[in-house]
Chains A and B, each alone.
Chain A
Amino acid sequence: MLSPDQVVEAYYLEARHQLLEIAALLDRHDAAVDREGRGPGPAAATKLAVLRQAITTLGDDQAGKERTVTLLELFARV
C-alpha cells in the first residue's frame, strides 16, 4: 500500500495531464461556440453540465471519500 506522499508523487503528473485535457476540452468548446455563434444542442448541453458538475464535485473537500462512485452515478444520468 502507498503512503499519502507516495500517492501524490506517483500520480501527480498523470492527474495534471488529465486535468489539462479537461481544460483544453472546455476551451475547445468555447472556441467552437465563438466560431459558430451558438451553444451546444440539448443532448450535448446536458453532457457538458454533467462534466461541470463532476469538476465541482472534485473540487469540494466536503464531497466525501467515494468520489469515484459519486461521479459514476452522475455520469449515469446521461
Chain B
Amino acid sequence: MQIIQPHYHAIARTAQDYERMAMSGVVAVAEPAFWAGFDRLYPETFIDYFRQISEFEPTRAAQYGIRHFCWVAVNPKEAENPTLTREVLRHFPEFFAKPTVLGVGETGLHKSTKNECESLEAHVELAMKHGQLVLIHTPHLADKAHGTKKVLEVLAGMKVDPERIWIDHVEEQTIRPCLDAGYWVGFTLYPITKCSPKRAVDMLEKYGTGKILVNSSADWGPSDPFTLQECILEFRRRGHSLQEAIDVFHNNPCRFLGQNPKFDIQPIRVETLVETSK
C-alpha cells in the first residue's frame, strides 16, 4: 500500500528509517520546521536549517525513492524572542519560491503566551498573503485544550481560508471544534505522549475520514515513524477496506498538500482487473 507521511522530522532520523519506510510503502514525507531542543539565537541558524530541509533533505530521501517536502516556521517555543521571529519571517518568501516548500509550519502555540499568539498571527498572515498552506501545532498534555481553543480564537480573528489550514496533534477533547470550524486536523501518533494508533482509528470511525491527516511526527524525542503503519494495520484489522485505508493514509495528504501545486502526487484508486483467458 502506498503511504504518505505528512509530518515527519527527517533530519532527526537516520537513513535506515528512510529505507524501512520505503520498504513499507511510504512514497513521500513532509517535514515541518521544528524546535531544535534548545532556543536558537540567530536568524542565520534558522536560514541554514531551512536550507537543510528544503535543499539537502530531499536528496537524502530521494536515495530511497521517497519524495521530500517541507515547511518553514519559527517554532512556538522560540516565539518569546519577537525580534528574532520578525527577522526570520522576513526571509520566508525566498523559501516559498523553492520547489519543495509547501507553506508555513509548524507554527502554533506552546504555552499560549501573548508573544506566541502574536507570532502565530504573523505566521498565518504571511502565509495567507503569499497563498501558502499553514500547519499549526497545538500544545501537548495539560496545555492542549486551552491552547487549541486559543488557536481557534486567533484564527477566528483573521481572514483565513480554513481549507488551507491544518491544525495538528488534535485528540478526543479538541477534534470537534477544529472540524466544526472547517479546518483540516491531524492525529500525531506517539508511543506515549500523544495519540495512539488505536485511538486514532477510534476517531476516524467516529468523525469520518474527510479532513483528517494521520502522521507519526517522528522527531529526536521518544517517537517512532512506524506508529503510522501500526495505525494502518489497526484500521485494516477492524475491517476497513484497502481503498478506505488508501483514502486516509495516502489520498487525504494528496488532497490537503496538493492545494499547493508543488505537491503533485495524485490520489489513487484500487482497481481489480478481471482477466479472462482466451
Contacts and interface: CB of A to CB of B under 8 A. Distances in A.
Given A24-B198, A24-B199, A17 B193 contact: yes
The bracket for how many chain B residues form the interface is 10 to 19
Interface in B182-227: 191-193, 196, 198-199, 202, 205-206
Contacts of A31: 202, 205-206
Contacts of B198: 21, 24-25, 28
Interface in A9-25: 13-14, 17, 20-21, 24-25
Interface residues of A, number: 10
A20 B193 CA distance: 11
A27 B196 contact: no
Contacts of B202: 24, 27-28, 31
Contacts of A14: 192
Where chain A touches its partner, the secondary structure class is helix
Contacts of B172: 24
B150 to A, nearest CB: 23
A18 to B, nearest CB: 9
Nearest to A24: B199
B192 A21 contact: no
A52 B192 CA distance: 23
Contacts of B141: 13
A21 B193 contact: no
Given A24-B198, A24-B199, A17 B205 contact: no
Interface string A34-60: 000000000000000000000000000
